[in-house]
Amino acid sequence: MPQQEIKNFSITELENFLKEKNIASFRAKQIFKWVYLKQTDSFEDMTDLSKDFRKEAQTLFVNKRLEIKKISHSQKDGSKKFLFCLEDNNHIESVLIPEKDHFTLCISTQAGCRQNCKFCMTAKGGLKRNLSTSEIVSQIRDIQKYILDQNEDESKRLSNIVFMGMGEPLDNYDNVLRAIKIITDQDFGLKISRRRVTVSTSGLIPQIERLGKDAAIALAVSLNAVSDELRSELMPVNKRYPLKELLLALKNYPLPKREKITFEYILIKNINDSLEDAKKLALLLKGVKAKINLIPFNPHPGSDFKRPEKNTIEKFGKFLLDRGYTVIVRWSKGDDIGAACGQLSAEENSGEK
Ligand code: SF4
């Protein structure tokens, strides 16, 4: 039997796997602690496991790190974009964003994506494949280690995770759910608070409903348009899951206490940035516990869309603020290092640098 990547197991799955091999199931918790809490790579170094079991574990499992192909540093805002090369030569990206007192990490869940949103660089190459659970949690584990090794601002912890990188997280549901459990496990996993993990979706209604039952984690929805006509044009997923049904599913989503759903709205010049759009957006979100992230479009190669003028963005935001919404304008991080998600990997795959 080929060795299995240890980080593809949830703790319960590992316990069951060990039981089947007549190995005491408490070993699963010991291994998890070494892998996630102590950042240990070699089973040989897991010193509270018996010598025999350490040997056996090496025949059953591997515990690999991702290959970091490149780290780009933004001079403008201090963010770092990690380009990882996977074992099958696909590339994915994670972005580490320094905040006032912590780091936020934006992670990928698929190599490519099949949702085909018209403003998105990742969409251009289609879906290559889903990431494994190990590839998802490794982005966090490996970058935690990078922060430790770099001795970067020791007072800051990597405490916030957003599933907002390459791919539609809910299109890789099982691996994402397993990863969320490992990430938020306070005893044996990566110990990130559940309240600080956000899954961003283009709006896959059945999976939103499932997630509400399975994890009830904070949710962000990429909205970007206030009519079905425009949204279907920008985001083909809207043809399957139109706005009215999407908003109903979001109203019913069991949010953690005092939380709101984040609506991401990429502002694109002359497409969805008029005051009329802002008015319709205010009406559309009435009755939903909503906060709105306005994201000025980040121009990238191969896209005709443009970023609106600054005063258009400000007027749009002010209109919503005046109607009582929480509004944040989020400028893309690292626009000097190819901030458009998927830009670095697209360049890597096409040989551009
Ligand atoms: S915006 Fe997100 S869901 Fe849409 S194509 Fe890009 S990665 Fe996929």
If one counts every other C-beta atom within 10 angstroms of the C-beta of residue 114, the result is 14
Strand, coil or helix: what is 159? strand
Any residues with CB less than 8 A from the CB of 51 and at least 6 apart, and which? none
Tokens of 39: 């950042």
Q: Mean pLDDT over residues 235-246, rounded?
A: 98
Instruction: State in Å: Cα 142 to ligand 1 middle.
Output: 24
Strand, coil or helix: what is 12? helix
If one counts every other C-beta atom within 10 angstroms of the C-beta of residue 260, the result is 16
Question: What is the pLDDT, as a whole number, of residue 302?
Answer: 81
Among 13, 237, 255, smallest CA distance to 133 is for 13
Instruction: State in Å: Cα 295 to ligand 1 middle.
Output: 14
Cβ density class 94-110: b for 16+ within 10 Å, e for less:
bbbbbeeeebbbbbbbb
Cα–Cα distances in angstroms (integers) from residue 200 to residues 3, 24, 82, 103, in the given order:
33, 38, 20, 18
Name the residue with the closest Cα to ligand 1, atom 6: 120
State the pairing for strand pair 127-130/91-98: unpaired
Ligand 1 atom nearest to CA at 115:
5
Instruction: State in Å: Cα 263 to ligand 1 middle.
Output: 15
Question: What is the pLDDT, as a whole number, of residue 98?
Answer: 93
Domains of the chain: 4-62 (1.10.150.530), 67-350 (3.20.20.70)
* Backbone dihedral angles phi then psi of residue 51, each to the nearest 5 degrees: -55, -45
Could you list the active site residues?
A: 93, 341
Model confidence band, residue 347 (pLDDT cutoffs 50, 70, 90): low
Any residues with CB less than 8 A from the CB of 149 and at least 6 apart, and which? none
Among 69, 219, 64, 198, smallest CA distance to 141 is for 64
Ligand 1 atom nearest to CA at 119:
1
Model confidence band, residue 334 (pLDDT cutoffs 50, 70, 90): low
Cβ density class 216-235: b for 16+ within 10 Å, e for less:
ebbbbbbbbbbeeeebbebb
Among 176, 245, 264, 162, smallest CA distance to 204 is for 245
Any residues with CB less than 8 A from the CB of 150 and at least 6 apart, and which? none
Ligand 1 atom nearest to CA at 168:
3
Could you identify the residue written with the tokens 């989020």? 330
Strands laid side by side in the 80-85 sheet: 67-73, 80-85, 91-98, 102-106, 157-163, 197-201, 218-222, 261-267, 290-296, 326-329
Ligand 1 atom nearest to CA at 110:
7
Instruction: State in Å: Cα 224 to ligand 1 middle.
Output: 12
Q: Within 13 A of 330's CA, how many CA atoms are on the CB side?
A: 17
Question: Torsion angle of alpha carbons 146, 144, 5, 127, nearest 10°?
Answer: -90
DSSP state of 302: T
Name the residue with the closest Cα to ligand 1, atom 4: 117
pLDDT > 90 in the chain, percent: 83
Ligand 1 atom nearest to CA at 165:
7
Cβ < 6 A, ligand 1 pocket: 113, 115-117, 120, 122-123, 166-168, 202, 222
Are 267 and 307 in contact, with CB atoms under 8 Å apart? Answer: yes
Question: What is the pLDDT, as a whole number, of residue 65?
Answer: 98
Residues 25-56 have pLDDT tens digits of 999 999 999 999 999 999 999 999 999 999 99
Instruction: State in Å: Cα 167 to ligand 1 middle.
Output: 6
Q: Mean pLDDT over residues 10-28, rounded?
A: 96
* Backbone dihedral angles phi then psi of residue 75, each to the nearest 5 degrees: -75, -25
Question: Torsion angle of alpha carbons 77, 94, 299, 117, nearest 10°?
Answer: -150
Residue among 95, 115, 200 to mutate when testing ligand 1 (max atoms within 8 A of CB):
115
Name the residue with the closest Cα to ligand 1, atom 3: 168
pTM as predicted = 0.94
Residues 165-223 have pLDDT tens digits of 999 999 999 999 999 999 999 999 999 999 999 999 999 999 999 999 999 899 999 99
Instruction: State in Å: Cα 307 to ligand 1 middle.
Output: 18
Instruction: State in Å: Cα 26 to ligand 1 middle.
Output: 40
